[in-house]
Chains A and B, each alone.
Chain A
Amino acid sequence: QEYSFRFQSSDPAGNANFILQQGWTESVAEMSDGRIEIELLPVETIVAHNETQDAIAAGILDGHVTDTSYFAGKDAAFGLIANPVGAWSDPQEMFDFMNEGGGNELMNELLEPYGLHFIGATTPGLEAFVSAVPLEGVDDLEGLKMRAPEGLVQQVFAAAGAAPVNLPGSEVFTSLDKNVIDAADYSVFSTNQAQGLHDVAPHPVYPGFHSMPLVEVSMNLDAWNSLPEDLQQVMTDSVQQFAQSQVAALKEADEAAVAEAQAGGEITVHDWPAEERNRFRSIAMGEWEKVAERSENARMVYDTLTGYLADNGMLE
Chain B
Amino acid sequence: MELFGILKDLGIEQSTLLMFAMLLLLLVTGIPLAFVTLLVALVFALGWFGPMAVPLITSRVYSFVSSFVFVSVPMFVLMAAILDRSGIARDLFDAMRLVGGRLRGGVAIQTILVAVILAAMSGIIGGEIVLLGLIALPQMLRLGYDRSLAIGVVCAGGALGTMVPPSIVLIIYGLTANVSIGDLFTAAFVPGFMLAGFYVVYVLVRAYLNPALAPVAEGPQPTRAEKLHLLKGLFLPILVVIGVLGSIYGGIASVTEASAVGVLGVTLSTIVRGEFTLTLMKNAALQTLQTVGMIVWIGIGATALVGVFNLMGGIDFVKTLITGISDNPTIVLIFMMALLFILGMFLDWVGIALLTMPIFVPIIRDLGYDPIWFGVLFCMNMQMSFLSPPFGPAAFYLKSVAPPEIGLGHIFRALLPFIAMQALALAVLITFPGIAMY
Contact = CB atoms under 8 A, between A and B. Distances in A.
Interface in A120-157: none
Q: Is the interface of B mostly helix, strand, loop or mixed?
A: helix
Nearest to B53: A60
* Size class of the contact patch on chain A: 35 or more
Interface string A1-39: 000001000001111100000000000000000000001
A180 B252 contact: yes
A41 interface: yes
A195 B371 CA distance: 12
A289 to B, nearest CB: 30
* Size class of the contact patch on chain B: 35 or more
Contact of A55 (B56, B168, B256): B56
Interface string A25-61: 0000000000000010110111110110011001110
A177 B60 CA distance: 31
A16 B177 CA distance: 10
B180 A46 contact: no
A170 B168 contact: yes
A199 interface: yes
A173 B171 contact: yes
Given A46-B311, A58-B52, A196 B182 contact: yes
A42 B176 contact: yes
A295 to B, nearest CB: 23
A179 interface: yes
B354 A42 contact: yes
Nearest to A194: B178
Contacts of A169: 175
Contacts of A195: 174-175, 178-181
B118 interface: no
A60 B166 CA distance: 35
Interface string B176-192: 11111111000000000
B262 interface: no
A191 interface: yes
A174 B311 contact: no
B357 A13 contact: yes
A180 B358 CA distance: 31
A45 B182 contact: no
Contacts of B251: 178-180
Contacts of B68: 167-168, 171
A175 interface: yes
A51 B63 contact: yes
Contacts of A14: 176-179, 357-358, 361-362
Interface of B: 52-53, 55-56, 59-60, 62-63, 67-69, 165-166, 168, 171-172, 174-183, 248-256, 307, 310-311, 315-316, 354, 357-358, 361-362
15 contacts: A13-B176, A42-B354, A42-B358, A45-B315, A58-B52, A168-B69, A170-B171, A170-B172, A174-B165, A194-B179, A195-B179, A195-B180, A196-B180, A196-B181, A196-B183
Given A168-B68, A194-B179, 6 more contacts: A42-B354, A46-B56, A59-B52, A171-B254, A173-B182, A174-B181
